[in-house]
Amino acid sequence: MNKVRKLLLVCGCFLGSMSLSAEVTSGSDFEILMQKIRQDFSKNPSIDEALSFYREGAFTDVDYGSIQRTDWPPLVHLQRVSDFVFAYTNPENPYYADDRLFDKIQAGLEFWHERNPWCHNWWYNQIAEPQCLGILLIQMRSGAKKLPEELERKLLERMKTDGGDPAKWTGANRTDIALHWIYRSCLSEDSTDLKKAIENAYSPLVYTTQEGFQHDNSYFQHGPQLYIGGYGDEILKGITQIAMYTKGTDYELPEGKVALLGKFMRETYYPTIRGRFMLFDVLGRGVSRPGVTDKSSTALFARRMMELDPAHADEYREIVGRLEGRLSANVGITPFHTHYPVGDYTLHVRPSYTFDVRMVSTRTMRCEYGNGENLRTYFLSDGCTNIVREGDEYQEIFPVWDWRRIPGVTAPQLKEIPMAKSDWQTKGTSEFAGGVSDSLYGATAYAYEDNYAGVLTRAHKAWFFYENEVVCLGAGITSGAEAEVVTTVNQCLEKGQPVWIRNGKKVCQMNPEDNVGGSLKWVLHNGVGYIFPEGGTVFCQDKMQTGNWYDINHTASREQVGKQVVTVGIRHGQKPAAGTYAYLVVPDLQTAGEMEAYCKDASIRILKNTPDLQVVRNRKLKMWHLVFYAPGTFESRDLSVRADRPCILQLRETKEGRLVVHAADPAQSQQLLTLDIWKGRTSSRPFTWQCDFSQDGMLPGASRMIQLSSDCFRL
């Protein structure tokens, strides 16, 4: 299916910067829409190779009996006939208005209708096939000769019968089905079906608790499963495409829905793309498809939004520039921090880097592996992190990845990676997964526990997000697995960049194929520093790793590929009883000297790292982050806090001496949290805040804020 999705996306691109809203101003709504559709898919294909396989309405190299669920071979027939149609109708093509080519088009469509190939994957029958048919029939209406009315009628009837009802689907699938309803309605001039199609196409543009756009501005498909990319791509392609068709007609996209669409694209979708490349953990099972992280083609959506949402045209213009490589990855990037409490996802963006965390809880689904794709995904949802500066740090790494060592994850190094109970929808097992945020900074925590299929491992993991660094802590690491447990700090492409390490008192550059372990103080690679303030058994390796796409995706190639990969991690040994780790990720450090200087800076202090409590202070920002996994008290000379329930807190002192407190409930228990806060030791009188999460409505787990004035609280 991945090749077909890519083809449909590429076919939807404009010629240059052509606007669908321009030039088409007369005629009925049906004709206006069809003229825009023709503009949208206009092309001048070369068809000589396809003609060499053509015999009496069919193609000799196509397996019409295939029922395989991805990259369905029979669809090649329709794609080639579509190319014939565009060649026949393009005055610049050598086959323009060629009577013999017309006969081949007619015979090819007659053959398709009579043969009626069928796929065991519904998507081809109800989306890919009818969309392709609709486009080529609309284009054929502009030809020198027209198809026989009876043939067109039969094909339209097949589209209606097999194409399904969009109202029975959700999210991107509903919009994709509605799209070919629009094609068919225009061809048959059926205003009732056209109205229904457009209503269904736009109906997913609402916040929902089902599949689709979530109230935290994330996106779900296939149950409560994060799918910002993949199905997120699909719904943006379809909705922006239809919105451009209907612009200036009675069916124009309402302003409120434009606002929702723009908010998702500007504040969630495009921020998960660094430069041209999307963060791998928001792509669902599509992460196992070659080329999937390269999202340069999605500049199309942003170009469309420049017309649909002109108030933000400058922002979309910068997005297009970054996707096309004309602007560097940092241009136009505004710092922000967001935790998505519905999606169990955290996104931290700075001009110089992007860092994210993907978790799974009892409220959400693990990343799926259906249709023979994404077959080693098991640990991908368990606190996975992306660390990117240019965006291409993981480009095409996935066939050679060690999938037991996914960045950010603590996992046993099992000989065989488990498969989740279900290939499509398997919920997580943790109730405690969430984060606190003030929109610039925040902390995220995950009480990881997995007793399935010999994993038998648990850990309390937390990430603390600041301007120039992310602090990563783990405590209470225990395992009954019959394998060593490792926390992977990163596993990324070497990219020809040197790896520097401090091993004890010695600073040196690693050689390719080196595997160094022991008392590493820090590692520096490709502008990102990894610092280990509490030591531990740290390892770093720079080696050639080999593999093939087929092992992770049975629709892909078995050809062996090799890539030079740098892996940094922390060993906890076999069956650890109370393991811990602490490391800092510091992007934008370039030299060993800068690493040494940073290590001497005492602005970051790790104050607690236990199974019950993790605390970090940033002295420069005058900020504390506290993760309470159980009721308890943190006490220090400057600040003390008592919480009567598990929670995550951020406390920051303003220049005026006020204390701004943010609190979140990662368990989403929707109960009352009582906090006692002291300016110093607990012997003084506290300020008490009763934070009531019971009225969180559609956003349980979202952060609450209170500001304590300098009169009642001053540090």
The whole model's pTM is what? 0.91
Among 88, 183, 227, 231, which one carries the catalytic annotation?
Answer: 231
- Do residues 466 and 490 make contact, with C-beta atoms less than 8 angstroms apart? no
Q: Mean pLDDT across the stretch 119-126?
A: 94
Asked if residue 47 belongs to a domain, the reply is: no
231 among known catalytic residues: yes
- Do residues 475 and 459 make contact, with C-beta atoms less than 8 angstroms apart? yes
User: Helix 29-41 vs helix 231-246: angle between axes, to the nearest 10 degrees?
Assistant: 130
SS3 462: strand
Q: What is the pLDDT of residue 27?
A: 62
Among 276, 285, 389, 458, which one carries the catalytic annotation?
Answer: 285
The number of residues making up the chain comes to 715
Q: How many CA atoms lie within 13 A of 173 on its CB side?
A: 18
DSSP letters, 347-413, are EEEETTEEEEEE---TTSBPPP--TTB-TT-GGGGSSEEEEESSS-TTTT-TTT--TTS-TT-EEE-
SS3 169: coil
Q: pLDDT tens digit string along 646-665?
A: 999 999 999 888 999 999 99
Q: pLDDT tens digit string along 589-632?
A: 999 999 999 999 989 999 999 999 999 999 999 999 999 999 99
Q: What is the pLDDT of residue 111?
A: 98
Q: Mean pLDDT across the stretch 556-581?
A: 97
Asked if residue 12 belongs to a domain, the reply is: no
Asked if residue 120 belongs to a domain, the reply is: no
Q: pLDDT tens digit string along 196-248?
A: 999 999 999 999 999 999 999 999 999 999 999 999 999 999 999 999 999 98
Q: pLDDT tens digit string along 61-77?
A: 999 999 888 889 999 99
439: domain range?
345-707
Bridge-partner residues for 457, per DSSP? 450, 479
Q: What is the tally of structural domains in the chain?
A: 1
572 among known catalytic residues: no
Cβ burial of 13 (10 Å; 0-12, 13-18, 19+) is middle
Radius of gyration of the chain from Cα atoms?
28
- The pLDDT confidence band at residue 713, using thresholds 50, 70 and 90, is low
Asked if residue 112 belongs to a domain, the reply is: no
Give the N- to C-terminal CA distance of the chain in Å, as an integer: 59
Bridge-partner residues for 677, per DSSP? 641, 687
Cβ burial of 685 (10 Å; 0-12, 13-18, 19+) is exposed
Asked if residue 326 belongs to a domain, the reply is: no
Q: What is the pLDDT of residue 9?
A: 43
* pLDDT(12) > 90: no
Asked if residue 191 belongs to a domain, the reply is: no
Q: pLDDT tens digit string along 433-480?
A: 999 999 999 999 999 999 999 999 999 999 999 999 999 999 999 999
Q: pLDDT tens digit string along 323-344?
A: 999 999 999 999 999 999 999 9
Give me the CATH number covering residue 413: 2.70.98.10
Bridge-partner residues for 705, per DSSP? 662
* pLDDT(385) > 70: yes
* The CA-based dihedral angle spanning residues 513, 515, 521, 523, taken in that order and rounded to the nearest 10 degrees: 30
- Nearby residues of 587 by Cβ (< 8 Å), 6 or more positions away: 350, 352, 353, 355, 387, 389, 468, 469, 527, 528, 529
* pLDDT(499) > 70: yes
- The pLDDT confidence band at residue 710, using thresholds 50, 70 and 90, is low
Asked if residue 74 belongs to a domain, the reply is: no
- The pLDDT confidence band at residue 8, using thresholds 50, 70 and 90, is very low
Tokens of 613: 């409590």
- The pLDDT confidence band at residue 18, using thresholds 50, 70 and 90, is very low
- Do residues 266 and 315 make contact, with C-beta atoms less than 8 angstroms apart? yes
* pLDDT(1) > 50: no
Please give the Cα distance from 560 to 549 (Å, whole number). Answer: 8
- Nearby residues of 143 by Cβ (< 8 Å), 6 or more positions away: 85, 88, 89, 97, 102
* pLDDT(250) > 60: yes
* pLDDT(11) > 80: no
Q: How many CA atoms lie within 13 A of 694 on its CB side?
A: 6
Closest CA to 200 of 174, 218, 180: 174
Please give the Cα distance from 425 to 220 (Å, whole number). Answer: 12
- Do residues 635 and 656 make contact, with C-beta atoms less than 8 angstroms apart? no
Q: pLDDT tens digit string along 22-57?
A: 444 446 889 999 999 999 999 999 999 999 999 999
Asked if residue 150 belongs to a domain, the reply is: no
Q: pLDDT tens digit string along 514-564?
A: 899 888 999 999 999 999 999 999 999 999 999 999 999 999 999 999 999
Among 77, 222, 303, 358, which one carries the catalytic annotation?
Answer: 222
Closest CA to 352 of 469, 441, 228: 469
Q: pLDDT tens digit string along 129-188?
A: 999 999 999 999 999 999 999 999 999 999 999 999 999 999 999 999 999 999 999 999
